[in-house]
Structure 1
Amino acid sequence: MKISNLTVRFGSFTAVNDVSLEVAGGRATGLVGESGSGKSTLARAAAGLTPYRGTISGVPRGRVQMVFQDPSSSLNPRMSIGDAVAEGVRVPRAERAREIARLLELVSLPASCAGRYPRELSGGQRQRVAIARALAARPEVLIADEITSALDVSVQGSVLNLLRDLRAELGLTMLFISHNLAVVRYVCDAVAVMRHGHLLEHGPVDEVTTAPQHAYTRALLDAVPRLTHS
């Protein structure tokens, strides 16, 4: 997916200002910055959820799926887990039950979850359902927008490990949004740094996190004591 000269405005406020970024096929690109940096707005534009100026090429319309920060608000509480996942399933009706079970297994949930409701699951389980629902449409690009920030610390690592496993198993192309460079380094191959709607620097994640070129990137690194850098 290639994003070229993307600009998003809300009235007189420019949330994303002339950003160009390529998300390489089969790779995970992290987009990092503080709250209000424009990273989630860019993600929503890439998913076709927010009007924008510029171009997004390399992926057909409708083949980008997004997993949101809070699974409690992204899943319909009146819809069973099976029905929620089935919304994106692209197989004949007779094969849907088997496909739903396969997708739940893919995110390490038992097929029996299909008959349950979001309120009956933990936050981590609900986020796994949201991932399964996104994968049901067999997207060419998966966008993950701060998908662990609303979860308990005890389950954040298991969801990140799930993403790494899915990348390896499915060859996913992913745009991963986070405010935490340590998490981005764990999940992604490349990273782009945003601030106030501008793209400050981007490149291979090891290069950016070990030899940052911008003072803001160095400040983000300094905010994560466990992430060593030179």
Structure 2
Amino acid sequence: MKISELTVRYGRFTAVDSLSLEVPAGSVVGLVGESGSGKSTVARAVAGLTPCRGTVTGIDRARIQMVFQDPYSSLNPRMTVGASIAEGLGPQVRRAERTAGVARLLDLVALPAAAADKYPRELSGGQRQRVAVARALAAQPELLIADEITSAMDVSVQGAVLNLIRDLRTELGLSMLFISHNLAVVRYVADIVAVMRSGRLVEAGPVDEVIGSPQHDYTRALLDAVPRLAHS
């Protein structure tokens, strides 16, 4: 997928300014920056949820799925986990196949088949995020966009979800745009990192190169906020 000259404006305010970025097939690109840098706006624009100028090529927009920061708000509290996931499989799938498909997707995100009968309120935050990922995968996306999906979690739950993302990438060969404010998180899951500031892309490249030898002062400032990364 290739993003070219992506621009998002709200009135006179420019949230994203002529951003160009490529997500190679089968790779994870981490888009990082402080709150308000425009990275989540990029995610929503690429997914077709926000009006924008510019082009997104090399992918059918219908094959893009997005997982949001708060899984509880993105899951219907009146629907069981199984019903929510089954929606992504499409109406053409027969009932018996839907049941098997839901079970397969739950297994893929390391949840028991019995979770299909539960409601979102009965699950932990980490479990709900796994359900959100399973629902997104049900649509067989070419690109998965993960928007700050671990930022509200404690460290142990965050680690489990990040391991899940790595495992899914390996098993399914997924292409991902992974949004985060945390360079340590991005380094763990991404091949390529792109750094945003005030709606613009200031630096991009292989994750170890950008973290090991940052070229922009803003990237260095982000690294300084994560001491173990800065000195690794």
Please give the range of the TM-score, normalised by the shorter of the 2 chains.
over 0.9
Aligned residue among 219, 222, 225 for 1:220: 222
8 A Cα contact 1:211 1:229, kept in partner = no
Partner of 1:96: 98
Letter in 1 for 2:94: R
CA distance in structure 2 between the aligned counterparts of 1:174 and 1:84, rounded to whole angstroms:
22
Partner of 1:197: 199
CA distance in structure 1 between the aligned counterparts of 2:75 and 2:154, rounded to whole angstroms:
18
Partner of 2:60: 60
What is the correspondence of 1:76-95 to structure 2 with a 5 Å cutoff?
76-90=76-90, 92-94=93-95, 95=97
Q: CA deviation at 1:61?
A: 2.1
Q: CA deviation at 1:150?
A: 1.5
CA distance in structure 2 between the aligned counterparts of 1:111 and 1:185, rounded to whole angstroms:
32
Residue 153 of structure 2 corresponds to residue 164 of structure 1: no
Instruction: Name the stretch that deviates more: 89-98 or 149-158.
Output: 89-98
TM-score (norm 1): 0.98
Letter in 1 for 2:170: A
Q: CA deviation at 1:225?
A: 1.1
Q: CA deviation at 1:114?
A: 0.6
What is the correspondence of 1:70-149 to structure 2 with a 5 Å cutoff?
70-90=70-90, 92-94=93-95, 95-149=97-151
Partner of 2:3: 3
**Deviation above 2 Å: which 4+ runs of structure 1?**
none
Contiguous gaps of at least 5 residues in structure 1: none
Aligned residue among 209, 212, 219 for 1:210: 212
8 A Cα contact 1:209 1:229, kept in partner = no
Residue 189 of structure 2 corresponds to residue 174 of structure 1: no
Letter in 1 for 2:120: P
Q: CA deviation at 1:229?
A: 4.5
Letter in 1 for 2:21: L
Letter in 2 for 1:92: V
Partner of 2:38: 38
| Structural RMSD (CA) | 1.0
Partner SS state of residue 87, structure 1: helix
Q: Deviations over 1:49-98 (max 9, x none)?
A: 00000000010121000000011111111111001101111462230000
8 A Cα contact 1:65 1:143, kept in partner = yes
Aligned length in residues: 230
TM-score (norm 2): 0.97
